[in-house]
Amino acid sequence: MSASVSVATVVRDLAASRAIDLEIVAGASGLDRRITNPHPQKTGLALSGFDQYLREGRVLVFGESEVRFLESLPPPDRSAVMRRVLSHALPCVVVTDDLRPVPEIAKEADAAGVPLMRTRSATPLAMARLSAALEAYLAPRGTVHGVLMDILGLGVLIVGESGIGKSECALDLVVRGHRLIADDAVELRCRAESFVIGSCPELTRHHMEIRGLGLINVQDLFGVASTRRSKRVEMVVQLERWDAGREYDRLGLDETYYETLGVRIPMIRMPVAPGRNLAILVEVAARNQLLRLGGHNSAQRLVERLDEQLGSDVSDLEFGEDL
């Protein structure tokens, strides 16, 4: 089932956040209609007969050009046009620029049970803020078992089997001055189809489970600077039991990815063994990833220097043979 949100929820939350003012003009009986697409549509062609381009589940926006066009039509034609447009199972219609819709628009909206709303905002601003709000509601979502940390401004998701030491590693990182976003259950949502935002369920926010200690409140213990509400996931560290018979990457040249919600995120597999300080290793991995994002790849530079040195040695050898 695709994600959706009711018109009533959007109107309520936008009013609470003051992102955009929406005045319900007509069609209040349809506030339970569902919005399924975060991108509002604005197509004047629909009013002139090309209504096949209208998409169900998307908010329809009327700007000045659409309102003026309807005003230019005789009243019976206005009703016929709106009746045809509203037959496409649209969730709602928003009139921008504080324009007052002609009576026929409101009458047909009431008859079809489609909420008709008005805002003082200009069309571009209204569409941008509606789209931003709807993306938050309709973004693909998921939950993963792990810990999400903010390490030097980099969102690091630590995953691995139960009992491997994810929470203990996170607690050590908090002691070192880094920030906890979520422990145990990390809620993920995809934004703009290109990056993933992680957060914590409201019920368990700021809490962490440590075997032997039980539940602790990180914010109470370490202060408000030790936590944050959400963070973009930019790297994944997968903790794994040490396997003596397995070959591990020793140069850091292999690129592996963690895929979730259709987005690929750089991943590091970190073997866990007695004597390894996981917190320091994860912190260094984060620092190294920040360097890579800045265009500095230490492993690649070393390999290039080795290739140059080998090439130089071969050239010297060939030159000596010619002598």
Residues belonging to the active site: 145, 166, 184, 250
Distance separating alpha carbons of residues 183 and 148, to the nearest angstrom: 7
CA 120/CA 21 separation, integer angstroms: 7
Alpha carbon distance 48, 63 (integer Å):
15
Give the three-state DSSP class for 274: coil
Q: Smallest Cα–Cα separation from 178: which of 218, 207, 210?
A: 218
How far is the C-alpha of 163 from the C-alpha of 155, rounded, in Å? 22
Its sign, for the CA torsion 259, 264, 265, 266, is positive
Which of 35, 58, 34 lies closest to 46, judged by CA? 58
Q: Are 154 and 294 in contact (CB under 8 A)?
A: no
CA separation for the pair 266, 6 (Å, rounded) = 36
- The closest alpha carbon to 33, from 61, 10, 62, belongs to 10
Contact 200, 181 (CB under 8 A): yes
d(CA 317, CA 295): 34
What distance in Å separates the CA atoms of residue 315 and residue 80, rounded to the nearest whole number?
84
Residue 112, number of CB atoms within 10 A of its CB: 22
User: Phi/psi class of residue 312: alpha, beta or left (left: φ > 0; alpha: ψ in -120 to 50)?
Assistant: alpha
Alpha-carbon gap, residue 18 to 87, rounded angstroms: 31
**Do the Cβ atoms of 143 and 188 come closer than 8 Å?**
yes
